[in-house]
């Protein structure tokens, strides 16, 4: 978990670093680097060791935070960016380039915790690895790429839109593991990733890749409730 703090005011770099210190015991792999300007951040960016979280001041000399973020996003589109500023008039510009959150100076510690905890959950979703083992083969998938899992005759079939992976298991066990990551049980034999839902009909769910999966009458109300919560949580 790699974090960069870029602000031309050392006071705020130190404040954010202090706020992050309490997370190091939970995530010992966490590393923090700091920069005083956007140019240094861009020049030091290493494609082999991507930054996962970026705390970025907007009002900096030379290249500002907006332009810095646009350059970094070209290299890593999944980076989670927190913009920092004293002025709210920049909000629309930051969200247009995919800001995760907007922090107003002075930064409140309790608000920081709430927002960073949300960011960690998003990071887990983006980086979770799903291991599929069957016979002599092992596949490692990214959770966000899995569209749905089908169960049949004690076997599980995992679809990512390109390949179908097979393993032995129980769908209820996968449901327990994956519900946190936006998956919902829509049928006795199907577990779907809600990020790929396009239309929920009475008996079918149309997915964004064009596939249809069944939805049972018994589970339909729960699917609707979970999906409404899911889309509310993911709308900026």
Residue 173 gets which letter from DSSP? H
In percent, how much of the chain has pLDDT > 90? 53
CATH 3.40.50.2300 residue ranges of the chain are 2-127
Q: What tens digit of pLDDT does each residue of 128-150 get?
A: 788 898 888 899 898 889 999 99
**Contacts of 181 by beta carbon, 8 Å cutoff, 6+ apart:** 124, 125, 128, 143, 193
Q: State the Cα–Cα distance between residues 30 and 132, nearest whole angstrom.
A: 27
70's tokens? 């646009």
* Whole-number Å distance between alpha carbons of 192 and 178: 10
Number of other CB atoms surrounding residue 105 within 10 Å: 16
Burial (CB < 10 A; 0-12, 13-18, 19+), residue 137, is: exposed
Q: What are phi and psi of 36, to 5 degrees?
A: -100, -5
Taken in order 163, 216, 122, 64, the sign of the CA dihedral is: positive
pLDDT in tens, 197-217: 999 999 999 999 999 999 999
Topology of 129-233 in CATH? OB fold (Dihydrolipoamide Acetyltransferase, E2P) (2.40.50)
**Residue 29: enclosing H or E segment and its boundaries?**
none
pTM, entire model: 0.58
What 3-state DSSP class applies to 201?
A: coil
All CATH 2.40.50.1020 domain ranges of the chain, comma separated, are 129-233
Q: Spell out, as residue ranges, where the chain has pLDDT lower than 70.
A: 46-49, 88-97, 233-236
Would you state the pLDDT for residue 173?
93
The correct answer on CATH 3.40.50.2300 for the domain covering 2-127 is yes
């Amino acid at each position: 978990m790699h974090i960069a703090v870029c602000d031309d005011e050392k006071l705020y770099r130190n404040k954010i670093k202090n706020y992050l210190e309490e997370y190091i015991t939970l995530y010992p792999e966490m590393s923090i680097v700091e920069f005083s300007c956007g140019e240094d951040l861009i020049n030091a960016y290493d494609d082999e060791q991507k930054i996962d979280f970026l705390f970025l001041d907007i009002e900096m000399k030379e290249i500002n935070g907006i332009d810095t973020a646009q350059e970094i996003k070209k290299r890593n589109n999944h980076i989670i960016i927190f913009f920092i500023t004293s002025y709210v008039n920049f909000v629309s510009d930051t969200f247009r380039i995919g800001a995760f959150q907007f922090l107003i100076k002075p930064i409140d510690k309790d608000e920081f915790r709430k927002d960073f905890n949300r960011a960690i959950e998003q990071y887990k979703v983006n980086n979770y690895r799903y291991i599929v083992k069957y016979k002599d083969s092992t596949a490692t998938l990214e959770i966000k790429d899995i569209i749905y899992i089908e169960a049949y005759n004690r076997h599980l079939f995992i679809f990512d839109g390109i390949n179908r992976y097979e393993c032995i298991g129980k769908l209820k066990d996968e449901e327990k593991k994956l519900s946190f990551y936006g998956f919902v049980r829509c049928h006795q034999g199907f577990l779907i990733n809600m990020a790929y839902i396009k239309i929920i009909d009475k008996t079918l769910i149309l997915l964004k890749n064009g596939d249809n999966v069944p939805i049972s009458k018994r589970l339909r109300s729960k699917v609707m409730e979970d999906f409404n919560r899911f889309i509310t949580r993911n709308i900026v």
